[in-house]
Chain A
Amino acid sequence: MSQRTERRGIHVDQSDLLCKKGCGYYGNAAWQGLCSKCWREEYQRVRQKQIQDDWALAEKLQREEEAAAYASSHSAHSQSTAAQHASVGHFSKFEEKKTNEKTRKVTTVKKFFSPSSRTTSKKEIQEVKAPSPSISRHASFDTDQVSKEFVDFLKNLHKPGRETYKQCRAFLLNMSSKKVCCPPETITVSISYQNKETFLFRQDLGADELSECVQDFYQNLADRLISHFKGSSESVEQVMDQVEKYIMTRLYKSVFCPETTDDEKKDLATQDRIRALHWVTIQMLCVSMEEDIPEVSENVVKAITDIIEMDSKRVPRDKLACITRCSKHIFSAIRITKNEPASADDFLPALIYIVLKANPPRLQSNIQYITRFCNPSRLMTGEDGYYFTNLCCAVAFIEKLNAQSLNLSPEEFERFMSGQTSPQFSSSDSDWPCSESGLGTTVTNPVLVQLNHNLELLTGLCTRQEAVMEAAQSLQADLLTWSDSVQQEVHNILEKYPLEIISKVSAIDANTDNDNLPSPIKPQVFAD
């Protein structure tokens, strides 16, 4: 009986509901008849196999590309880049799978594969920092873009360009191969990029050592380039800038704020320090900027934006450019206020003020990173170097800042620091020597000032709009009453003289009678 019902398909046998693996748990059709546990195992196995296939494919492509690169080293350089780009398609697919998997199993030991170092092709590396998929994909796009630009730039240089490219590649490989000498249990950080370069760095290779490696490389390359270009320092600098961009885009993640240093601690300390100094006014620092002038406050806001933006750049020179832009805005602000070019006496206090107001993220890390990995000639000399030095001075000053440097008494300084009082409440009896005007102005963020200013403008516009609306309504009412009054008037007049028309009609009637009226005038001919 039970067998019949089974054939009819209404009832299913108990065994059919169980996991196909026979583990005793119930299975599910969505998991191909397996239970959740067995399904996960099975799925993992299939995934793993697929990944390994992908690795193999990537490796094969890498070998082909390298072979092509060697073959084309005498001919056009573009060939190797073409090969590189041809493989990108496959690779991006692979990257996608990888990130998919990353989201599924979040914190598990993963196999990371480094195709560029053939000696240790497959190795189990414990991943320390797993960047979020979106960030890594975005970064790899940037990196790809940078390397493309780099190749394009070097193409114009022919032979020295090829040499430079080779040396950069060799250097990056060398940096990554440093992991060969480290035992597997050492924690390493791996960074995988879309163009199949995986760089692994020993965490215990100190930041200073890394900096030394990079600086040595710069030095060697610059020396070689100088002999190529026969002392034309401009061309050497151009190439070196591109090299720096190419290399540092790749190394950024592993060498920015490394764990071996106390950069992060310093960042936090500086951040807290700046936060504690939130009450410092523009007058205390003797900054010659009038924030009431709209152009000045606009420049101040731009300067703050630029200094904050510095953290988002990866190449040291781009970071320097942010500092320079920020400085230029400060100069504009001072120039507008004082109506004469700003000198260093005006500039440094203004920069300190901007840093205090902006509280740029990871300020110390950024300064350390620039110092360690920027081309040293850029820091010691040049406009960028000058502004960077000023920023370092500003930070050093903020760290050492005391009551004397703000022309305050130690007691006042302590009160402000502890947050017991803030300057705007005690401003009436204060006697800051530099304050010429606006003693009562409260300490506010320039952005807030801008915001308030805009709000005021909006309120003004609102009231004007209301006035216009009111006037329009009264005009409408006026028009209505006017037409009414006209109508009324017409009506009145019509009522006043209603009989005129009738009398006229009688006159016509009289005309027709034609009795006691003079004869109608007839046309007469006066001339012949």
Chain B
Amino acid sequence: RGLFIIRVFLLFLMGETLPRVPGGVPVRTLRVKMVLLGSSGVGKSSLAVRFSKDQFRDSSPTVGCAYLTRVLYLEDITLRFEIWDTAGQEKYHSVTPLYYRGAHAALVVYDICKKETFVRAQVWLRELEKQYIPGSTVVWLIGNKEDLSQNREVSLQEGQNLAQEKGLSFTETSALSGDRVNELLLAVGKSSSHDAPVQTGRLSDNLSLSNGVPQGSDSGPTFGP
């Protein structure tokens, strides 16, 4: 038994002296689980495809776009995004809590051209609040289809107000043009790596974001005009 302990200890020491990745900082892989919530037709799937491939419609012959992945590299962390799409129909609302168990980020999406999707988004937010554990899941409010802003039914201010009130991060995106989609992904990754328990070392500063990341109940950053 004594020998065993010594051996484990030795192994541990040896492990410590193993050669590191050039640069002196160990490369870590972080899985970031991201759940997309929102009514049908707000563009969750398009947004998911945009996240994973930076395309609008999926041109490659994949069968489904309900579960997608994307790998991003920060300075010392490899972020492996897992994008979980959910069914938006109202009748499946009651089962959606199963999806956001253990999620690092929940993105509540609405269509800025459809008022009722914004109302539905608030229902989703209320539902999320029940399950919400501060620090474990970062909730974002996303107004999609910004490219159609001439048909806008929900103003930017309304979205910002709701986010401020609930203490969420907020942004408007366009899955069609890809506006602010990558920025959003980076911000989600950054906030998730903040919250990750195994976090060591400093975060990279080379993110293309100037805004901070939401902490506690302060209002989050807004990427609007």
Contact = CB atoms under 8 A, between A and B. Distances in A.
Contact of B64 (A227, A231, A342, A389): A342
A393 B99 contact: yes
Given A341-B64, A405-B91, 11 more contacts: A230-B18, A335-B63, A342-B66, A344-B66, A380-B101, A381-B31, A386-B66, A386-B82, A389-B84, A392-B98, A393-B87
B67 interface: yes
A193 to B, nearest CB: 26
Contact of B87 (A163, A335, A340, A349): A349
Given A341-B58, A389-B98, A393-B98, A348 B87 contact: yes
A348 B92 contact: yes
Given A380-B33, A404-B91, A396 B98 contact: yes
A332 interface: yes
B139 to A, nearest CB: 17
B193 interface: no
Given A228-B11, A381-B82, A386-B67, A345 B18 contact: no
Nearest to B66: A344
9 contacts: A163-B11, A227-B12, A230-B18, A344-B44, A380-B101, A380-B102, A381-B31, A392-B98, A393-B98
A60 interface: no
Contacts of A383: 67
Nearest first, the 9 A-B pairs at minimum CB distance are: A380-B102, A343-B45, A344-B85, A331-B64, A331-B63, A348-B87, A393-B95, A344-B66, A386-B67
B15 interface: yes
Nearest to B62: A341
Nearest to A166: B4
Interface of A: 159-160, 163, 224, 227-228, 230-231, 233-234, 286, 327-328, 331-332, 334-335, 340-345, 347-349, 377, 380-383, 386-387, 389-390, 392-393, 396-397, 400, 404-405
A343 B87 CA distance: 8
Of the listed residues B15, B33, B64, the one surrounded by the most CB atoms of chain A closer than 10 A to its CB is B64
A159 B45 contact: no
A343 B102 contact: no
Interface string B82-118: 1011111101101110110110000000000000000
Category for how many chain B residues contact A? 35 or more
Of the listed residues A389, A390, A400, the one surrounded by the most CB atoms of chain B closer than 10 A to its CB is A389
Interface of B: 8, 11-12, 15, 18, 26-29, 31, 33, 40, 44-45, 48-49, 57-58, 62-67, 82, 84-89, 91-92, 94-96, 98-99, 101-102
Given A231-B28, A392-B98, A393-B92, A341 B82 contact: no
* SS of B interface (majority): mixed
A343 B65 contact: yes
A68 to B, nearest CB: 19
A514 B192 CA distance: 131
A405 B95 CA distance: 13
Of the listed residues B8, B40, B95, the one surrounded by the most CB atoms of chain A closer than 10 A to its CB is B95
B94 A332 contact: no
Nearest to B198: A231
Contacts of B45: 341, 343-345
A396 B33 contact: no
B95 A397 contact: yes
A228 B12 CA distance: 7
Nearest to B40: A345
Contacts of A224: 8
Nearest to A376: B102
A2 B28 CA distance: 102
A383 B48 CA distance: 15
Contact of A386 (B84, B88, B89, B92): B84
A286 B31 CA distance: 34
A382 B63 contact: no
A227 B15 contact: yes
A404 B92 CA distance: 11
A381 B18 contact: no
A230 B15 contact: yes
A507 B99 CA distance: 114
Of the listed residues A331, A341, A390, A405, the one surrounded by the most CB atoms of chain B closer than 10 A to its CB is A341
Contacts of B84: 386, 389
A392 B97 CA distance: 11
B87 A342 contact: no
Of the listed residues B15, B48, B65, B67, the one surrounded by the most CB atoms of chain A closer than 10 A to its CB is B67
A397 B64 CA distance: 22
A188 B71 CA distance: 49
A303 B199 CA distance: 41
A239 to B, nearest CB: 15
Contacts of A334: 64
Contacts of B57: 340
A231 to B, nearest CB: 6
Contacts of A404: 91
Contacts of A349: 87, 89
A395 B32 CA distance: 26
A390 B96 CA distance: 9
B197 to A, nearest CB: 13
Nearest to B92: A348
Contact of A343 (B66, B91, B94, B99): B66
B65 A341 contact: yes
A186 to B, nearest CB: 31
A335 B98 CA distance: 25
A335 B94 CA distance: 27
Contacts of A331: 63-64, 66
B74 to A, nearest CB: 15
